[in-house]
Amino acid sequence: MIQNPNSPPSIPLSIWALGSVSFLMKISSTIVFTLSPLFVTQVLGASMFTLGILEGFLETVSLLARIFSGVLSDLIHKRKSIIAVAYIFALISRPLLALATRMEDIVLGRAFDRIANGLDATPRDALVGDLAPPPIKGACYGLRESLSRGGSFAGALLVMGLLWLTAGNFSLVFWIGSIPTALALIVLLLFVKDPTSEKFQQKKLKKKFNFKELLHLPLSFWLTLLLSGLFMLSNFSGAFLILRAEQTGMDLHLIPLVMIIQNFATAGTAYPVGYLSDKMGRRSMMALGILLVILSDLLLAWGSSIYLILGGVLLWGAEIGITSSMLAVFLADSCPEDVRGTGFGLFHFINGCCLLLANIFAGWLWHDSSPSAMFYASAIVATCSAVVLPFIKKTSPIPAGFQERGESPRRSLKGEGKKE
């Protein structure tokens, strides 16, 4: 069957494979994320203070790994290889956690897991941008995000079932968690292509990556970082949603429903909104995401019943699906392939730092004022972030132009600079 030349291209197999890989890795990482705090406090008997120090250290490790992997993927022109190394680290971490008997064992296993998370995130997002046809870039990012969040949803259900079937055998569940990680590595190696590496080998480029190229990136790139950073200041950990549900008297065994509903909503919105952004524009979809944050915060602030709280959780999950996809597409639109890894590294690092500040501020407001004050503050900050949105161009032709005309990003940027 001959495809209509005017119809949009289909999503490449490598994008589907990357989405499947994300689905499998999220199942595994959700198991680790859910059980590790329980293992540290209930089995090893560590205090909440110790757990807080551990989680803070691990998040710092993950942030640094994201910057490193992004720059490295631009230097060596091999995003897929770095992702594969990340999954090998993750595969090593699962047995370390399964065999852990001391705090040192947990720290080592979780460190390997967070290094894997950091190494994976940046080159993976950059690789989606490299592979995605420009007319359907939003759909490609939305698909990967939907499959990733679907993995979180499936992982949460799997944890509940495995804990029941194994009678709370943490070690066995950690061992089982290594299975989807191994499958993800196999799918990555067999079905994902790396166009950055292939182009580099074909052209045998001798010009080295130069950090000064970042200074020549379009204004839309820096505005995207500003928008993302401000918006992330309005976000907070899912732990606060769980605590809010608990305040309504929700039964303890039903508490995991909070994260299940959130991930279900995220998985259900990311791809449709990504698809619509290719037709209707990115800014309108991002504005919808910001609006859902505000509505969610109001429900969570006013909610006196579990139904209002779960409604707020549903909207919160939907906004994550929308905004995560849109911010990634904004960045991919404005960042040429040669520096896309470094661009996403900065993106993830800034987002991580802002999320850390947001969680500290949220915890302070929750403790010293009230949960409602925390949610109101989140709504106000989200509203302020929307001020940046009108200044970001509707479309950023730089990446598409490179692909359509086959031009070098470096040469086109210099030409653009002369015109200005």
The vertex-344 CA angle with 332 and 14, nearest 5°, equals 60
Residue identified by tokens 């803070």 is 56
- Let me know how long the chain is: 420
Both tokens of 400, joined, read 């598409």
In this predicted structure, what is the pLDDT of residue 197?
Answer: 61
266 has pLDDT over 50: yes
Q: Which numeric CATH code is attached to 216-392?
A: 1.20.1250.20
Q: Which numeric CATH code is attached to 17-195?
A: 1.20.1250.20
Q: How confident is the model over 142-187, as pLDDT tens digits? A: 999 899 989 988 988 888 888 888 888 889 999 999 999 999 999 9
Do 17-195 and 216-392 fold alike per CATH?
A: yes
d(CA 31, CA 294): 30
Both tokens of 358, joined, read 């947001």
Q: How confident is the model over 194-218, as pLDDT tens digits? A: 886 655 555 544 455 556 666 777 8
Alpha helices in 281-370 (DSSP H): 282-302, 306-334, 340-368
Q: Is 407 left (phi over 0), alpha (psi -120 to 50) or beta?
A: beta
In this predicted structure, what is the pLDDT of residue 408?
Answer: 39
d(CA 14, CA 5): 22
| Residue 83 or residue 209, greater confidence | 83
Banded pLDDT at 49 (limits 50, 70, 90)? low
Both tokens of 57, joined, read 């250290």
Banded pLDDT at 412 (limits 50, 70, 90)? very low
4 has pLDDT over 80: no
In this predicted structure, what is the pLDDT of residue 213?
Answer: 65
289 has pLDDT over 90: yes
384 has pLDDT over 90: yes
| Average pLDDT value over all residues in the chain | 83
| Residue 33 or residue 370, greater confidence | 370
- For the chain, domain boundaries: 17-195, 216-392
User: 362, 374 in Cβ contact below 8 A?
Assistant: yes
- Backbone phi, then psi, for 342, in 5-degree steps? -65, -40
